[in-house]
Structure formats: structure tokens, C-alpha cells
Homo-oligomer: A and B are copies of this chain.
């Protein structure tokens, strides 16, 4: 059993903890939190051992009646690998601690790729991170793009990718984020940083991205153009993508018009937290004009990186090859069951 520590128990951390626990070859050593808040108690109730991320605040846990298993250093020491799901920037600060205990660690996509040399996407570069100490599981948007690029690159070759990322303004609980009634270029300067981030996975890919922010909370939406090196029919491309794992090509008859409907599918399918781990591509949108492929895909910012973190654990430790890991992860999570079926 791979002993996994989770440092940070928020939007990503709590999902990774559940996903890791579901794996046949992994166990959760514990989770680290900075404060004894609701999520801390929720972790305890779920039976996860709780570690204090900040020594000074340990007494606060006691006052709140929450028993601690130790402090974060002990968690790191006791783990074969740590998934760091702390807020952006903190992960990089933690790197030294992970090195000190000689524990490999996965950081999240919000960390700077200049600080963390290796980036990871299960479909794209599984084999590249074996034995690497510090690996960045790329962001939700970059994960979504990489999963799409991989099969297209292999099957047809890619001349250039141009994508407009219409991003949700905030998550459903982030009530202090806007905009309320606006469409914001974000960043205004072009191309956006998302393209270079994809280049940490595909260094030689020619890709330009543009980012916008809109008043929606459920999922990001990608308006994608890929100039291919050959000219397959749209049907062929669709069949290719339908054959991919972690990709749900939305059939026309479902009548799915947006992310609200996708979330409803996930709720009806009894997915945990109604999570949508896969890229959701509108089948009808897949089209070819000359060698230009166009399509729309929706990306669930809260969860699409979760299976990627699970795979990265095995990839870094060399515990399974790509095919084996993805299959195991997906079956354990229920990601092998299409979004239209009960899990």
C-alpha cells in the first residue's frame, strides 16, 4: 500500500483524499489543516487522521475539541508521498519541508512552473516524472487542454492550437468573487499564460490562448481551434475523442445546453459531490473546416485534476505503468462509468 499524506484539505484536498482512499493500492496517512474549522471536523468524521499544518495553532484544535494525530512534519515523514493541495504559492513554500524529509510531493497547478520543474498530465507525459521529487499536476484548464491535445497530436499531428478560455468567475462557494454582470478580458495582455502552461507538458506545441472571466460558477468553457496537420472528417475526430478516457462526448439527444445540465447529469448519476472529472465536449460542436478543427469543451474546475493527482502518485513512485494506473484510478473512482449512467 502506498502511504499518501494530504497537505491542505480544501476544494482539491478533500476530493483527492476521497479518491486516494478509494484506490486499492493506496491509503491516506492523514490530512493536514491550518485551522480547526468545519472542514477539519469533516475530515475527522470521515476518519482521516488530522495533522496541524501550523505549530502555533495546535492549541486551537484542542480548544475546538478536535484531536490531532500530530503536526504536518510527522505526516510528511510518515508518508511515501505527499499531495500538497494548499492555496497557490504555499505549495512552493512547503517544498523545502518535503525535501528535508526526503518525501516526494505533488504540487498543484497554481504553483509557478519556474519553481517546480516537472509538470504532469496522466494522458500526456505519465512516464516523465518517475523518481522526480517535486511534480506539479497542472491546472484544471491545462489538464483539459492536454487531454484533448494528446489524441489529436498522435492521430493527426498539430500545426497550431488557438483557444479562448471563458472562465467561471468563482467557485459556487466563493461568494465574494465577481463579476456580477460583465465579461472581462483576463488577462488583458495576449496570449494568456495558459498557453505557456500547456507548453510545460508539450514543449514544442504551437499554442496561443486567450482568457476571459464571466459571471458563472459551475464550469469553465473552452472555445477551441486546432489546426491539424491532416484533414480528417469531423466524424473521425469525434470517434477518436469518444474512444478516449476522461472525455465525455455529449450526445445530441441528451439536450445538454450548458454546465447546469452537465452538473444535473452528475447529480443524477450519484457522482460524489456531483463531480465531473472528464472533459465534456459537445459532440455536435466537433467540426472541421479544411484542416481547422473546432469544438467546445466544458471543464469542471473543482475536480478534473483529481484523477490526475492519483495517477501522479503512482507515476512518481514508479508503482504502475500509465495504462495500469489510469485503469485502476478510473475504476476505483467510478470514472469508467459514463456520466449518463448510475455509478
Contact = CB atoms under 8 A, between A and B. Distances in A.
Q: How many copies does the complex hold?
A: 4
B168 A183 contact: yes
A274 interface: yes
A261 B173 contact: yes
Contacts of A296: 185, 188, 190, 210, 212
Interface in A167-186: 168-185
B292 A185 contact: no
Interface string A269-299: 0101110000000101111010010111010
Contacts of A240: none
- Give the interface size class of chain A: 35 or more
A124 interface: no
Interface of A: 14, 37-38, 41-42, 45-46, 160, 162, 164, 166, 168-185, 188-191, 208, 210, 212, 214-221, 223, 225, 253-255, 257-261, 263-264, 267-268, 270, 272-274, 282, 284-287, 289, 292, 294-296, 298, 340-342
30 contacts: A38-B340, A42-B340, A162-B162, A168-B180, A170-B178, A172-B181, A172-B182, A172-B264, A173-B260, A175-B182, A175-B258, A175-B260, A176-B177, A176-B178, A176-B179, A177-B178, A181-B181, A182-B257, A183-B214, A183-B216, A183-B220, A183-B258, A188-B257, A188-B284, A189-B285, A208-B225, A214-B216, A215-B216, A268-B273, A274-B274
